[in-house]
A = this chain, B = another copy of it.
């Protein structure tokens, strides 16, 4: 029992270390590693960026003591293949580590359990599955990528208490407080790209940057209405990706930006195709910020994996005010998606509801 308690304690610390690089390891997962000997942490490491050392390797290399008889705590199975770095599992085996506590197997089919088997064969005792759920959540982007070969999609919206994002006059500034807006800006740092519809771009001319990084900016713009006066065209166009309809025959050029034609489905750009294109470009996650129509299209297509509702205590009213999630919508309350056990949090005067939409209608 004592051993179990310590296992959770140390493993949680590995999680904490892993999180330091949140948003910066793409396309790789977040990994934190702790090496413990006689109940003392003797080394630790985390994966900082694709191409740099993996967490367990960093921990092994930084250790100032002999690792013989030590235990490795890590949230994800070590790799066993050559990527940008050589396989970690061999170095773990060589290090003298005698026991490993691992939350989950690596969902990457190239790894999936192979490293664990190899470690066991080499005589390392493996405890697998501790804090598994938490570890999958920590790397929800990576797990989605590996299992479905598409980016993880997070929707964010800021609405009044009565579900509106603009008055009937069109005025939409500001729905939520400064502190919610800053928090939302910080969320962009966690993902590879920010996605918006062309109407939002033309109306608000947003910068779409994070607090600590400049994400890819993806604009859904069937008729290629974006123009050179727009902020995200003028600044870092190399980070701009514009999806247009295959039907569009314009030869307008947006200097420095990628323009990608995709097919339509029911008169709208096909979001599945768009996500596949983005994934091919190495974009593992999309932070979809609106507007109403774009969020609605993603919801209709059942493509939203996670949602953040920032709800202000303001009440706009109005039959013609703009609803937060538009488009087609669902026909009945038995079949519409819902958030299962959402997390509810106060941010300044606002409420933040976060959850994972369930589309099974149960």
Contact = CB atoms under 8 A, between A and B. Distances in A.
Interface in A295-332: 295-296, 299-300, 307, 309, 312-321, 323-332
Given A299-B315, A315-B336, A338-B313, A323 B326 contact: no
A32 interface: no
This chain: how many copies in the complex?
2
Contact of A173 (B315, B333, B340): B333
A69 interface: no
Interface string A193-207: 000000000000000
Do most interface residues of chain A lie in helix, strand or loop, or is the interface mixed?
A: loop
B313 A319 contact: no
A96 interface: no
Contacts of A315: 299, 307, 325, 330, 336-339, 357
A351 interface: yes
Nearest to A297: B317
A295 B300 CA distance: 28
Interface string A328-356: 11111100111111101010010101010
Given A344-B344, A346-B344, A351-B344, A327 B319 contact: yes
A329 B172 CA distance: 14
B317 A328 contact: yes
Contact of A318 (B171, B172, B325): B325
A161 interface: yes
Interface stretch (A145-153, A162-170, A262-270): A162-170
A293 interface: yes
Q: Which 7 A-B pairs have the closest CB atoms?
A: A163-B163, A318-B329, A317-B329, A319-B326, A313-B339, A317-B325, A314-B338
Interface of A: 159-164, 167-169, 171-175, 292-293, 295-296, 299-300, 307, 309, 312-321, 323-333, 336-342, 344, 346, 349, 351, 353, 355, 357
